[in-house]
Amino acid sequence: MTDAKRRKPGPQVGRLAETNKEERPREKILRKGPEHLDDDELLVVILGTGTAAKPVFEMAHDLLADGGFPSLFIRGASDLRARVRGIGPAKAARVGAVLEIAARVTRDSLSRKNLLSDPSSVGRYLTEKLLGETQEVMGGLLLDSKNRLVKDAPLFRGTLTHAAVSPAPLFRLAILAGAAGVILYHNHPSGDPEPSPEDIATTKRFVAAGREIGIEVKDHVVVGRGRWVSFHERRLLT
């Protein structure tokens, strides 16, 4: 489904009570199913009501105006009250709970797959996770002996340099989690996921450190704008 189909050009005119009952989001979701609602309408169902100053349709539209649901995931519920007038603790808590449920469902699906044999799932997960990030973010997906996700361990946010990122924190987390392997990841905010010479040098340092303690670096996924590059697929780990 395209963005044009998911999003409306602007906030719906009028208040919820003024909308034809069959076209209200809650009634529509029960009558037709959630797939027939656009993003604004889905968020209206979660928010429930607006305020005297801001109708709920306008509130939902304002929350999604800057990048839609992916951006909302990145900002998190704690940012909502500061961004949109009328978002109180109850609404922020409801939105936060829904975002966390969605994140847990995604992580749970990865915990059931051999991630080395399904690199597209890793790429999609990381692309959604890192969408909208304006800084470089590095972390590791900690894996069990069957290459299934045990834990997503973010490590570093800022300007990544060969000297700035130490393997020690990641492998400390891997040991505590009982992980057998690691998939490194980081993003390129420029949008181009092609690995730089520094990316390759940093990866080799992590591979060597993991070999010393018996935790294998299985892959390094570099994420750009809607694209990713897998070191494993390109045979860049050797």
Q: How much of the chain is in helix, strand and coil states, percent to nearest 5? A: 50, 15, 35
pLDDT at 193: 94
Among residues 235, 162, 154, which one has the least CA distance to residue 196?
162
pLDDT at 169: 94
131 Ramachandran zone, left/alpha/beta (phi>0; psi -120 to 50): beta
pLDDT at 1: 40
Among residues 234, 170, 233, which one has the least CA distance to residue 207?
170
pLDDT at 223: 94
Fold of 115-230: Cytidine Deaminase; domain 2 (3.40.140)
pLDDT at 170: 95
Per-residue pLDDT of the chain (238 residues; tens, 9 = 90+): 444 345 554 445 456 766 777 778 889 989 999 888 899 999 999 988 888 888 888 888 888 887 787 777 766 666 777 777 778 888 888 888 888 888 788 778 888 888 888 888 899 889 888 877 888 999 999 999 999 999 999 988 877 665 568 899 999 999 999 999 999 999 998 889 999 999 999 999 999 999 999 999 999 999 998 899 999 999 998 7
**Number of Cβ atoms within 10 Å of the Cβ of 200:** 15
Using an 8 Å Cβ cutoff, are 144 and 110 in contact? no
Among residues 15, 10, 96, 112, which one has the least CA distance to residue 55?
15
Both tokens of 193, joined, read 């996921």
State the Cα–Cα distance between residues 171 and 209, nearest whole angstrom: 8
* Per-domain boundaries in the chain: 3-107, 115-230
pLDDT at 92: 84
State the Cα–Cα distance between residues 45 and 235, nearest whole angstrom: 47
